[in-house]
Amino acid sequence: DPKIIQKPKYLVAVTGSEKILICEQYLGHNAMYWYRQSAKKPLEFMFSYSYQKLMDNQTASSRFQPQSSKKNHLDLQITALKPDDSATYFCASSQEREGNERLFFGHGTKLSVL
Amino acid sequence: GQQVQQSPASLVLQEGENAELQCNFSTSLNSMQWFYQRPGGSLVSLFYNPSGTKQSGRLTSTTVIKERRSSLHISSSQTTDSGTYLCAMDLASSGSWQLIFGSGTQLTVMP
């Protein structure tokens, strides 16, 4: 029973189009994240949100826009898609750090841009 | 260069053998975590280990922050242990996690 739900699991898009990746967490966490894993590259931090506010942003391109409509939602809008955007995008969540909190990941959305 | 170096890159074991995975960090860090990535891609948190030794079943993690290294020991390996083991360091001391990951060790356990 997954506690972090990502939709869709697979996504195919054409170059130049726009897509939204959905993430909902039911762990009661107050911090949510997006990470990206491209082929043959390490998992890469993109954004972190805490209480629906942007905390850290390591993504240079403004084509990637997180959207948090509710505390337990953090969607990722990607505009003007490029083939280099092809990757698996992982949503994650945690309690904002006070001690031993760990990071929990969703199953990912695999995006292929043609 | 990469800030998080994992070794070996890949490892093949016979069931029952032990494994020692290493993680070295090029910069000072506040804490680190170990993750397991299933062949299907999903990630499972194994340890949050800022220092010292932690054990969970057949897995033991040892972190020496001053020496910028951590290890993951898997004892009596099983075929279900196959997958990729990732370590990640965190540069922040509070607030949200901003992890920098290594490239992983791909473990294959043969029956």
Give the pLDDT of residue B28: 80
The count of other CB atoms within 10 Å of the CB of residue B4 is 24
Contact status, residue A81 vs residue A113, Cβ threshold 8 Å: yes
What does the pLDDT average to over B84-91?
A: 90
Residue A50: predicted pLDDT: 83
Residues B24-59 pLDDT 10s? 998 887 788 999 999 878 899 999 888 899 999 999
DSSP annotation string for chain B: --SEEEE-SEEEEETT--EEEEEEESS--SEEEEEEE-TTS-EEEEEE-SSEEEEETTEEEEEEGGGTEEEEEE-S--GGG-EEEEEEEE--SSBS--EEE---EEEEEE-
Q: How far apart are CA B41 and CA B94, in angstroms?
A: 28
Q: How far apart are CA A69 and CA A84, in angstroms?
A: 28
pLDDT at A100 over 60: no
Out of B2, B45, B95, whose CB is closest to A103?
B45
Are B43 and A90 in contact by the 8 Å Cβ rule? The answer is yes
Output the CA–CA distances (angstroms, integers) from residue B50 to A31, A40, B53, B69, B92, in the order listed.
20, 27, 9, 10, 12
Cβ of B42 within 8 Å of Cβ of A106? The answer is: yes
Min Cα distance B15 → chain A (Å) is 27
Q: Looking at residues A4-27, what average pLDDT do you find?
A: 96
Q: What is the DSSP string of A17-48?
A: --EEEEEEE-S--SEEEEEEE-TTS--EEEEE
Token readout for A98 is 């006070």
Residue found under tokens 């898009």: A13
Would you tell me how many other CB atoms lie within 10 Å of the CB of residue A73? Answer: 16
Q: How much is the pLDDT for B1?
A: 63
**How far away is chain B from the Cα of A90, in angstroms, using its nearest Cα?**
9
CB contact under 8 A, A94 and B103: no
Q: Is B14 touching A (CB cutoff 8 A)?
A: no
Nearest of A48, A17, A94, A39 to residue B98 by alpha carbon: A48
Check residue B98 and give its pLDDT. 79
Average pLDDT over residues B10-36: 93
pLDDT at residue A19, rounded to an integer: 97
Hey, is the C-beta of B98 within 8 angstroms of any chain A C-beta?
yes
Give kind and range of the element (H or E) at residue A80.
none
